[in-house]
Structure 1
Amino acid sequence: MVQWTSLAAAALLANGAAAQNMLRFACSQLVVDRVDPLVNPGVRYTPHLHQIVGGNSFNLTMEPVAHDLAEKSTCTSCSFVQDLSNYWTAVMFFKAKNGSYTRVPQTGNGGPQGTLVNKGGLDIYYIPSGKVTAFKPGFRMIAGNAGNTEDSKVSKGNICHRCWTATNENTFIGGAPCSGSDTVAIPNDIKCKMIRQTIIFPTCWDGKNLDSPDHKSHVTYSGSGASGGGNCPSTHPVKLPQVMYELMWNVSTFSDKSIWPDSGPAFTYSMNLGGSAAHGDYVFGWKGDSLQKAMDKNCNLNKDCPAAGLTYQPPEKYNNCNVKQQAPEAVDGWLKAMPMGEMAIKA
């Protein structure tokens, strides 16, 4: 019998829907770069650093009509060949006592299908709840607010962090995502070996606009947690698959408290803000109607799904889909400061 130890299984079991299928797959880092074609199109050295995964046609502008990811990308850093979408988030940094910074390394997260292998990057979920309508070409959205400084303004049921007290990602800690002791704030506790970050996107669409000026108003939440969402309101009547990002930040290499700063948080995001500013960006880029078929045909996890034409590619393939930085700077090793404003400089 499959041992349902993943957060996804816990969420589904909690909702009495253990038989429900969903896509759950790994994406390795395409690039770590200071660009953001949604919030700062055309700008190099944007205010903060992102990690980007997905199709290799990712660029500075990505106009929704002119830039068809599925047409322009020749590879993807995600598990499914048909998924040329782009997904990105902020980067977590560790600040040392001497004031220098380094990026926190990442690992995949295990689950019922075994360890998901990703070189950096994150795990992606598409969770259906009843009949859903797949995103359309040109669709994009953002979850969270990169400038938010108040935890109280964030729904813990949609964006959260969990202190993972084991270094083995298959040792499941806690219950369903964004529940229990999960917090909006980034845990800054020496007992945390990893920090799991969860970002859950809205599931209801107005059915008209592929985007909106704030990249949010054309969609809305219907409930919270990884349930696939509830009934949609009349203003946003179209039910979408629930997109969820899952990131495992490995903080076990920073377990020596003597190197932590004397005051302030040791872990922070690349905006120099905490968990209240956690956010994710999404640009749809599945080939043809492959995502709609995947939802309709109950495709599951990260396996081939012939009924929908989905093809799984192994890590040695998707790990090697990379692009060069479009805002070149040092992002690895110890840095004098987080990459904000001027180009980053090695410590």
Structure 2
Amino acid sequence: MLAYLTTIALLAHHVAAQGNMLRFACSQLVVDRVDPIVQPGIPYAAHLHQIVGGNSFNLTMDPANHDLPSLSTCTSCSFKEDFSNYWTAVMFFHHKNGSYIRVPQTGNGGPQGQLDNKGGLDVYYIPSGKVTAFKPGFRMIAGNAANTVDSKVNKQAICNRCWTGTSDTPFVGGAPCSGSDTVDIPADPKCKMIRQTIIFPTCWDGKNLDSPDHQSHVAYSGGYASGGGACPSAFPVKVPQIMYEVMWNVTNFADKSLWPADGTAPFVYSMDIGGPAAHGDYVFGWQGNTLQAAMDNNCNLNADCPKAGIHKQTDAEYNACTKAQMAPETVDGWIKALPLGDKAVKA
């Protein structure tokens, strides 16, 4: 009991320290093999992504002529003014017979309330002091889809946590990417859910909306999962800290007799090179100055904020926002192999 109370106290301190923040659900817009940041214009890109946000998401999304708020007719995120796009790789379970199936996703719960999403992920915008909202055309990536070395991953920014129950209430553990959180995907039959956290940089050079590697125009400043610390001189503009949480429900895969007999990982991301390659992509698309107003007016969690002019949609409204694949292939049910070139084929 003492250990439990200590954990809750530490969590409460962490939340109080970072003040108000947006925390909201985004349902699955589409699961598609496209990547308008890294491989613009190319269908059947290198690996599969799960995408959420505005339905103007497209193969190219040239920032010079693709204005997400004006081109989108709906958003799969709970705030109706947010037409940004957010995406990550997809997690698969690898059966001992060689076939694969997509691991289902669920909304997050915990002390700040349950979030409802139909697949997808949960998004945080965490301010630390005065922050400047992103500009139209801004985009960035956290992590590296080609990385295979654990030590090259910033564990404070990208991590996984094993949940030993199907409910995350009471909350287990401390701040994101702390304690026993790991870079690799946990391979433990006791895990019923795996929470993936991806934390983005909080400092911007104030000039470039993007960069060739989609990372050099931004920088981390410490203070992970709490809004970030003071920015370095080369990146003087403090921006809201974006954090993704993906709750992968691995309950149906806890039977170790189903895992590969050769000892290879039972859970893999869609790049099929291991856990260290986890990454997230972001394209800004809030309507007008609503994100700046939300940060300035201390809008909090997943609720209407009249001072900023942001409005929470009903679960049914944002769950209904979807779009067809631009690279059509089978992504549901058992497939023979991960889609890494050829189209996916049912097992």
Deviation of 1:83 (Å) = 0.2
Q: Secondary structure at the match of 1:268?
A: strand
Equivalent residue runs for 1:99-178 within 5 Å: 99-178=98-177
Q: Which residue of 1 aligns with 2:320?
A: 320
Would you say the 8 A contact 1:11–1:177 is kept in 2? no
Question: Using the alignment, how far apart are the partners of 2:71 and 2:105 within structure 1?
Answer: 28
Question: Using the alignment, how far apart are the partners of 1:15 and 1:83 within structure 2?
Answer: 24
Question: Using the alignment, how far apart are the partners of 1:66 and 1:94 within structure 2?
Answer: 39
Question: Using the alignment, how far apart are the partners of 1:287 and 1:308 within structure 2?
Answer: 11
Would you say the 8 A contact 1:157–1:224 is kept in 2? no
The Cα offsets for residues 133-158 of structure 1, whole Å up to 9 and x where unpaired, read as 00000000000000000010011100
The Cα offsets for residues 43-89 of structure 1, whole Å up to 9 and x where unpaired, read as 00011000000000000000011000011001000000000000000
Deviation of 1:112 (Å) = 3.8
Q: Provide TM-score, normalisation by structure 2.
A: 0.96
Deviation of 1:114 (Å) = 2.6
Question: Using the alignment, how far apart are the partners of 2:156 and 2:15 within structure 1?
Answer: 15
Question: CA separation of 1:16/1:31 partners in 2, compared to 1, >3 Å: closer, same or farther?
Answer: closer
Deviation of 1:171 (Å) = 3.1
Would you say the 8 A contact 2:148–2:276 is kept in 1? yes
Counterpart of 2:244, as a letter, is Y
Percent identity of paired positions between Structure 1 and Structure 2: 72
Question: Using the alignment, how far apart are the partners of 1:199 and 1:17 within structure 2?
Answer: 20
Counterpart of 1:325, as a letter, is Q
Question: Using the alignment, how far apart are the partners of 1:306 and 1:112 within structure 2?
Answer: 24
Q: Which residue of 1 aligns with 2:20?
A: 21
Structure 2, gaps ≥5 residues long: none
Question: Using the alignment, how far apart are the partners of 2:12 and 2:136 within structure 1?
Answer: 29
Would you say the 8 A contact 1:8–1:226 is kept in 2? no
Question: CA separation of 1:322/1:8 partners in 2, compared to 1, >3 Å: closer, same or farther?
Answer: farther
The Cα offsets for residues 86-122 of structure 1, whole Å up to 9 and x where unpaired, read as 0000000000000000000111011345310000000
**Which 4+ stretches in 1 moved above 6 angstroms?**
none
Question: Using the alignment, how far apart are the partners of 1:122 and 1:193 within structure 2?
Answer: 17
Question: CA separation of 1:8/1:212 partners in 2, compared to 1, >3 Å: closer, same or farther?
Answer: farther
Q: Which residue of 1 aligns with 2:308?
A: 308
1:78 paired to 2:77: yes
Equivalent residue runs for 1:277-296 within 5 Å: 277-296=277-296
The Cα offsets for residues 228-262 of structure 1, whole Å up to 9 and x where unpaired, read as 00000110000000000001000010111111101
Question: Using the alignment, how far apart are the partners of 2:291 and 2:151 within structure 1?
Answer: 35
Question: Using the alignment, how far apart are the partners of 2:275 and 2:42 within structure 1?
Answer: 25
Question: CA separation of 1:9/1:38 partners in 2, compared to 1, >3 Å: closer, same or farther?
Answer: farther
Q: Which residue of 1 aligns with 2:257?
A: 258
Question: CA separation of 1:325/1:10 partners in 2, compared to 1, >3 Å: closer, same or farther?
Answer: farther
Question: Using the alignment, how far apart are the partners of 1:8 and 1:302 within structure 2?
Answer: 21
Single out whichever of 252-261 and 110-119 deviates more from structure 2: 110-119
Q: Secondary structure at the match of 2:142?
A: strand
Structure 1, gaps ≥5 residues long: none
TM-align CA RMSD: 1.6
1:94 paired to 2:75: no
Deviation of 1:288 (Å) = 0.2
Would you say the 8 A contact 2:111–2:169 is kept in 1? no
1:271 paired to 2:271: yes
Would you say the 8 A contact 2:270–2:338 is kept in 1? yes
Question: Using the alignment, how far apart are the partners of 2:341 and 2:107 within structure 1?
Answer: 31
1:335 paired to 2:298: no
Question: Using the alignment, how far apart are the partners of 1:50 and 1:14 within structure 2?
Answer: 31
Would you say the 8 A contact 2:14–2:226 is kept in 1? no
Single out whichever of 80-89 and 163-172 deviates more from structure 2: 163-172
